[in-house]
Each structure stands twice: as structure tokens, then as C-alpha cells.
Amino acid sequence: MKKLSLIFPFFFLLSCSQPPQSSTHVYFSPPGELLERAVVDAIDEAHSQILVQAYGFTNDNICDALKRARRRHVRIKVLLDKSNETVVNSCIDEMEKLHIPTRIDAEGGIAHNKVMIIDSMTTITGNSTSQNMPSTMKKTLLS
């Protein structure tokens, strides 16, 4: 696995353009199953590319959805915080087994963003969307 000295700027470049007919969806969801379902559905609908930047990457359902996307030949790139190198239940090993390019941002402080860009058309961002968190925690998602 390669360590990064700079954060990938490609996430922000792709999110600048909007499709002619765009929409925004906002989810607030304790216990969070609605959020997780929205992310998994978006991944399952991907056709060409998924870019992921995440602090924690431990949600099994999101990990499984990315594996399904890879099997559909969707190009996937993952950028994770350095904490994923030591977390026991991180999906990082699963991504590497499928030869999904996975990089660690090891510079500076924590990489606390949680962003997915799907097919250069859909941007998902929020908190607690890619981690197994207690169901009592509030979770938000903007898609």
C-alpha cells in the first residue's frame, strides 16, 4: 500500500460539474439504516467510477456494495485516513484483495472527510456513513 504525502484533489475536480437536471437529497436518520441504504443503493447504481474518501471504513454493507461494483467493472479508488491501518474491522484488506487502488493519507492530522463521487454525477457526503456506529448516534447524509 502506498502512503500519500498529499491529499488527492481529484474528488473536488469531479464534483464541480452538475448534470442538467440535478437534485439534492438530505437524510437525517437515527438509527441510520436509511442513510446506509441510500449509500448502498447509489453504489449499486454506479456504472463507471466510484471515488471514496473516508476517515473510517468499517461498514460491511458499504464494503460489500463496493465489492459488487468492482465485479461489475466499475473503477474504484479509495483514499483513507491512516487510522485504517490499525483498525481491526477496516474494509481496507477487502479492497486490496480485489485490487481496488487504496491509498492512506498519512500526513498531518486526521483525514476526517467522508465523500463519495459516483459516475462524476452523484456526490455523497455526510458523517458516520461509512462506519459501523451505535444506532443511537445521529447520522446525516447529503446526496
* CA 110/CA 132 separation, integer angstroms: 18
* CA 65/CA 88 separation, integer angstroms: 20
**Quick check: bond before 19 cis, omega within 30?**
no
Q: What is the SS3 string spanning 11-75?
A: HHHHCCCCCCCCCCCEEECCCCHHHHHHHHHHHHCCCCEEEEEECCCCCHHHHHHHHHHHHCCCE
Say which residue the cell 479509495 belongs to.
78
What amino acid positions are annotated as catalytic residues?
112, 114, 119
Residue 126 in grid coordinates: 455526510
Contact (CB, 8 A) for 143 and 24: yes
